[in-house]
């Protein structure tokens, strides 16, 4: 049933586009800032003394390595496309090669004689299904060895939850400079401020991707409104997009809306984290006085960029 709401009520629920399929960039583990995953090594090493002979058949350009801050420089070997969960790099697909208690990430290109298992990025973890069919997550140990644990343990154990979590294509933390001005710093130009992008990834790190996606979309529109807070025409022109992203959020979180509402309130507090930004938000809200919005009922269609009719002002 359609319901007429004031925008103030609708924004109360919300006050409380980063597609994973297209995201590219280094995988950065949360417990090791400044490190990323790379296909292959920069420099040859004396590996004969440290690796089993059977592993040497995997050329160093075909293995996955953790590289340090000094090496993590956006080189093409550090770029990964998250293609429906699978990770594709310039040398091929990332796969797991179990070895005793360890897992060695390898870059699979075509068929190999040794059995490997595709590595996927799931709920912020690098995971694979082994011979027993159980999903295991990778835990960084050293430059190319990873340990593994059941995904349930990685999500439930506080220690493993931190060690096993990877940010995907996260920009660096802007620090105090990110608090300057309304726009802040958006180094990757994805429409979400760097500090907010990192906060969303951290807050929703254990949530399914479909829960985090509409949050990023909402923040993207609100960030644009924030930048143009003192341009009433621009802010109102963005309102249909803001409502569509909000409806999509309702659709994906209605199974546990109260909890996700609390999580989003934390994100919004991060978005408006300075006096100037709070002042600008109040200015934005002032433009909505006298406006009415109808509840569309069917929220799912707005996740596919279904346009929202421009809200009308009621006569006074």
Which pLDDT band holds residue 33 (cuts at 50, 70, 90)? low
Span 167-176, pLDDT tens digits: 776 777 888 9
Instruction: Write down the pTM of the prediction.
Output: 0.62
Pick from 16, 13, 11: nearest CA to 284 = 11
Which of 9-13, 107-111, 192-196, 215-219 comes out lowest in average pLDDT? 9-13
Give mean pLDDT, residues 270-298: 89
Residue 15 has pLDDT above 50, yes or no: no
- pLDDT over 70, % of the chain: 74
Pick from 15, 9, 18: nearest CA to 268 = 15
How many of the other CB atoms lie within 10 Å of CB of 77?
23
Which pLDDT value is given to residue 232? 95
Report the distance separating Cα 251 and Cα 220, nearest Å.
Answer: 18
Q: Catalogue all structural domains in the chain, each as residue range(s) with its CATH number.
A: 4-19+175-313 (no CATH), 24-168 (2.80.10.50)
Pick from 266, 170, 278, 259: nearest CA to 211 = 259
Integer Rg of the chain from CA: 23
Which pLDDT value is given to residue 32? 65
- The average confidence (pLDDT) of the chain is 78
Residue 10 has pLDDT above 60, yes or no: no
Give mean pLDDT, residues 127-135: 91
Sign of the torsion angle spanned by Cα atoms 199, 203, 206, 208 = negative
Report the distance separating Cα 230 and Cα 280, nearest Å.
Answer: 7
Packing angle between helix 209-227 and helix 194-203, nearest 10 degrees? 160
């Amino acid at each position: 049933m359609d319901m007429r709401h004031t925008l103030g009520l609708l924004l109360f629920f919300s006050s409380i586009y980063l597609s994973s399929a297209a995201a590219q960039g280094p995988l950065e583990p949360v417990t090791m800032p400044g490190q990323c995953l790379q296909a292959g090594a920069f420099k040859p090493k004396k590996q004969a003394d440290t690796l089993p002979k059977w592993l040497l058949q995997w050329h160093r350009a075909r293995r996955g390595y953790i590289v340090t801050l000094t090496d993590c420089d956006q080189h093409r070997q550090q770029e990964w496309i998250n293609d429906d969960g699978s990770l594709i790099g310039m040398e091929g697909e990332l796969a797991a090669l179990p070895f005793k208690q360890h897992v060695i990430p390898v870059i699979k290109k075509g068929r190999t004689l040794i059995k490997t298992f595709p590595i996927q990025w799931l709920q912020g973890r690098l995971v694979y299904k082994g011979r027993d069919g159980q999903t295991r997550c990778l835990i960084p140990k050293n430059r190319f060895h990873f340990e593994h644990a059941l995904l349930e343990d990685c999500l439930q154990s506080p220690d493993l939850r931190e060690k096993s979590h990877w940010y995907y294509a996260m920009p660096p933390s802007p620090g105090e400079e990110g608090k300057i001005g309304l726009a802040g710093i958006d180094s990757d130009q994805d429409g979400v401020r760097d500090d907010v992008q990192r906060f969303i990834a951290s807050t929703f790190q254990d949530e399914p991707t479909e829960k985090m996606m509409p949050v990023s979309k909402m923040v993207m529109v609100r960030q644009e409104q924030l930048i143009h807070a003192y341009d009433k025409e621009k802010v109102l022109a963005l309102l249909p997009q803001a409502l569509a992203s909000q409806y999509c959020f309702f659709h994906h979180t209605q199974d546990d809306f109260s909890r996700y509402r609390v999580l989003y309130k934390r994100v919004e507090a991060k978005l408006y984290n300075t006096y100037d930004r709070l002042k600008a938000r109040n200015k934005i809200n002032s433009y909505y006085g006298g406006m009415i919005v109808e509840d569309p009922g069917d929220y799912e269609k707005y996740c596919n960029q279904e346009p929202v009719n421009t809200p009308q002002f009621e006569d006074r």
